[in-house]
């Protein structure tokens, strides 16, 4: 499976979220676990002009000028530059999955709470919508975003609505839905059945914060978490829809617990036929 990673994606941020530094740790873990079953793929970072397509120009410029804090709440100068690679990874994974017809991975997080005019909750720029625009530009007519991070993708909804993209992008977000694990899995199954037919690509946010032990989330046991991922990849395979997936949130300590959950998602992706 192609994993779109460059070292520039990872930076150390003084924040409660590990997301900014997580790509390097995840990729190192995957290399050790999966070896030649994954291939690290290069890509081009996005430009500031690409960010202008999904965000207010004044907001983008203010973040790069350090006049406004990034989504982590800091003004560290290395963060905005790293985000060009974060969104570049997501864009490249989406394009490669659609063109190749398989499953690709973007070891990224910090995307779906970024609104048109601002960021927050560890998200600065919305690489999900940026990736969706890229594949629409390339010829896709319909795609789906299934977001299983435990928190609602409010920024994604805001930008899709503002740009009038809901005619071409189907968006479903888990979003702290109440109920038992079985009830939530049933809702996910229904969402896949509704949103995959007619879609030419699935962008899947596989949030590790939906695990029951996460301090900021929690609905799935480890077995249920694995079933969630298996359900997504199996449904997409049956529908003939390629998948580009990313990490999204995960806040357990030590971080090894989060890496274990991201490895489960990779295991299920590989088992679905990508490797």
Task: Give the pLDDT means over successive 10-residue stretches in the chain (275 positions).
Answer: 95 69 93 96 98 98 94 87 96 98 95 93 94 98 96 94 97 81 94 98 95 88 97 97 95 92 98 72
N-to-C CA span, the chain:
5
Question: What does each C-alpha distance from 162 to 54, 116, 207, 221 come to in angstroms?
Answer: 9, 8, 25, 36
Count of the separate structural domains present in the chain: 1
Question: What DSSP letter does each residue of 9-38 carry, written as one string?
Answer: G----SSS--GGGHHHHHHHHHHHHHGGGS
Give the pairing type, strands 143-147 and 243-246. Answer: unpaired
- Cβ-contact 97, 137 below 8 angstroms: no
The answer to whether residues 262 and 251 touch, using CB atoms and an 8 Å cutoff, is: no
> What is the C-alpha R_g of the chain?
17
CB atoms within 10 A of CB 17: 20
The pLDDT score that the predictor gives to residue 16 is 59
* Joined tokens for residue 43: 């890509």
Say which CATH number the domain at 108 has.
3.40.800.20
The residue range of the domain holding 43 is 2-274
Q: Closest Cα to residue 46, out of 157, 128, 120?
A: 128
Q: What is the pLDDT of residue 19?
A: 66
For the stretch 114-149, what's the b/e string if a residue is b when 16 or more beta carbons lie within 10 angstroms of its beta carbon? bbbebbbbbbbbbbbbbbbbbbbeeebeebbbbbbb
Q: In what order do the strands lie in the sheet with 202-205?
A: 39-41, 2-4, 103-106, 243-246, 202-205, 143-147, 169-173
The pLDDT assigned to 22 comes to 85
């Amino acid at each position: 499976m192609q994993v779109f990673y460059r070292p520039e994606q990872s930076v150390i941020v003084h924040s409660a979220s590990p997301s900014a530094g997580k790509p390097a740790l995840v990729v190192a873990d995957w290399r050790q676990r999966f070896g030649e079953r994954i291939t690290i793929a290069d890509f081009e970072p996005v430009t500031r002009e690409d960010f202008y397509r999904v965000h207010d120009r004044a907001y983008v410029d203010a973040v790069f000028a350090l006049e406004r804090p990034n989504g982590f709440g800091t003004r560290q100068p290395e963060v905005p530059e790293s985000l060009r690679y974060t969104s570049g990874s997501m864009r490249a994974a989406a394009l490669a999955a659609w063109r190749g017809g398989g499953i690709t991975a973007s070891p990224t997080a910090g995307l779906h709470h970024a609104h048109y005019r601002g960021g927050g909750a560890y998200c600065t720029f919305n690489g999900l919508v940026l990736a969706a625009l890229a594949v629409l530009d390339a010829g896709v007519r319909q795609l789906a975003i299934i977001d299983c991070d435990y928190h609602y993708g409010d920024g994604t909804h805001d930008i899709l609505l503002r740009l009038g993209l809901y005619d071409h992008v189907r968006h479903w977000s888990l979003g702290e839905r109440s109920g038992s694990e079985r009830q939530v899995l049933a809702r996910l199954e229904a969402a896949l059945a509704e949103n995959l037919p007619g879609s030419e690509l699935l962008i899947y946010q596989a949030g590790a914060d939906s695990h029951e032990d996460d301090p900021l989330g929690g609905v799935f046991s480890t077995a249920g978490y694995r079933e969630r991922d298996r359900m997504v990849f199996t449904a997409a395979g049956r529908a003939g829809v390629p998948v580009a997936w990313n990490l999204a949130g995960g806040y357990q300590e030590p971080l090894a617990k989060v890496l274990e959950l991201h490895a489960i998602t990779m295991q299920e992706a590989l088992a679905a036929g990508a490797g």
